Structure 1
């Protein structure tokens, strides 16, 4: 299964833009996330919908290391652009699926029965691109506002013995026409806005307290989502270009995607994706 990551293309695009006099910073780091992801599916026996939990039913890891990359270009004293990318890729093997289920993707029903081995994949990439402006500046501090765009790239896959049929061919809620070894569903949310504030205070030369808070909530067409990102940390400059950052971070993403079907009675694979992190994070950055 191939998963798409937009980061390399956007990095090339950003770095290839006309240069402005200022500081360019690359920051690399990571923390552990706590995930709770579910999808609305159909019980093939009763024909009723139920919630399939990726962590408990399909055994995907609840806690996983989450790397991140952040690029920041600060210019003309008060202005900066940022590019932020986080990745959560998980897969698991269920030896004997307990609860059978059906999902519909693009007017096709996929029937996954109990008792069989199933490999499940869920890859989520979160990308934010935005602009910040230092509203207040002093000799050792700055306070600013930010406005950005937030996009999620979701790749879901199942591999096993899976029945498949068109919506019109399903008989007594069972697909028996053929079987396939793998199905993949990819979904990309439209770029959605997030707003934030940030503040930095250098209390000793080379030592800076940093803080930021970003928030996003929207309900638009088939997507409803919320993002909260609050960070308080300490940056230490140990060479002219290198800095080490230790921070306490609260990060939460909660997105519902309600997919539509041509058949109003059919249950499409609606997603609810939630993961959060509360705790320390570590990163290293270089400015040139």
Structure 2
């Protein structure tokens, strides 16, 4: 199944949910003007590829698609801080945000030659590498149905990822690095449901697909499901699962390349509201 088909199915599911939700419902009291969740993001599995092309005199030479784990011996699990939250400025309108930063390192004796930007690393090189990504999401969320025990919403916003990659040959004097920031529009669907007054299930799915643009092409999907316990009046605790995938190709005249990443992780956090 193609990503485009997944996008169509997700959109159809969101429209169906909207159609099946009662059209008329009383707004819940404005007792959650804001929410701030801070915790740990335990990334249990991450992998991806990076590619940096070479451009000389307007002629582009496609670089090697470098597998982070296989070719660079990169880390595939780590624990990082994560921040999520929202501010509700009207009963059915709010702004959501998320932030996390993942720094990964790798060390390996290369088994094949790698073309990365203007540098070719020969087989047998001892490669020291870094791949750092910082993600910031900001979305406007509209709740088309909101009651004390359930809230269903649609969202639109920006998913901004900054990627810094570097590869160095120990003792060989070869080094290459690159940085790129990709702001991508995202669309999403969210469902929050209270099993009891204190136990809540929270889920959201965000996606983006762009196959033709001046500088960026790519696809993104991000799914989160979590359970929260409102232990105290303004403080609670939660845990959940997150899976995120990003494929992006950059066709800027000054730099060309591609980056893909898949993250699977567990979230543990404290929420204040």
Same-fold call, TM > 0.5? yes
CA apart distance, 1:61: 1.8
The 1:269/1:61 distance shift into structure 2, 3 A limit, reads farther
The 1:197/1:31 distance shift into structure 2, 3 A limit, reads same
Report the Cα distance in structure 2 between the residues aligned to 1:159 and 1:149, rounded to whole angstroms: 33
Alignment root-mean-square deviation, CA: 2.8
Contact 2:128/2:170 (8 A) holds in 1: no
SS of equivalent to 1:57: helix
Q: Aligned residue pairs: how many?
A: 234
**1:61-106 Cα distance to aligned partner (Å, 9 max, x none):** 2333354211311232222111211322111122x333233333xx
Task: Confirm or deny that 1:151 pairs with 2:160.
Answer: yes
The 1:216/1:49 distance shift into structure 2, 3 A limit, reads closer
Task: Confirm or deny that 1:115 pairs with 2:124.
Answer: yes
Task: Confirm or deny that 1:31 pairs with 2:42.
Answer: yes
Report the Cα distance in structure 2 between the residues aligned to 1:150 and 1:82, rounded to whole angstroms: 12
SS of equivalent to 1:239: coil
Query: Which position in structure 2 is the counterpart of 1:11?
Result: none
The 1:52/1:269 distance shift into structure 2, 3 A limit, reads farther
Larger radius of gyration: 1
Contact 1:255/1:274 (8 A) holds in 2: no
Counterparts of 1:178-189 in structure 2 under 5 Å?
180=173, 182-189=175-182
For residue 102 of structure 2, the aligned residue among 79, 83, 88 is 88
CA apart distance, 1:23: 2.4
SS of equivalent to 1:56: helix
CA apart distance, 1:49: 5.7
Task: Confirm or deny that 1:272 pairs with 2:259.
Answer: yes
Report the Cα distance in structure 2 between the residues aligned to 1:49 and 1:139, rounded to whole angstroms: 54
Contact 1:36/1:62 (8 A) holds in 2: no
CA apart distance, 1:243: 1.4
Task: Confirm or deny that 1:59 pairs with 2:73.
Answer: yes
Report the Cα distance in structure 2 between the residues aligned to 1:227 and 1:41, rounded to whole angstroms: 22
**1:23-42 Cα distance to aligned partner (Å, 9 max, x none):** 23221231324212232668
Q: Which runs of 5+ in 2 are unaligned?
A: 1-30, 55-60
Q: TM-score, normalised by structure 2?
A: 0.74
Query: Which position in structure 2 is the counterpart of 1:223?
Result: 216
For residue 205 of structure 1, the aligned residue among 197, 202, 220 is 197
The 1:280/1:182 distance shift into structure 2, 3 A limit, reads closer
Report the Cα distance in structure 1 between the residues aligned to 2:272 and 2:241, rounded to whole angstroms: 20
CA apart distance, 1:157: 1.0
Task: Confirm or deny that 1:214 pairs with 2:206.
Answer: yes
Contact 1:41/1:52 (8 A) holds in 2: no
The 1:251/1:158 distance shift into structure 2, 3 A limit, reads closer
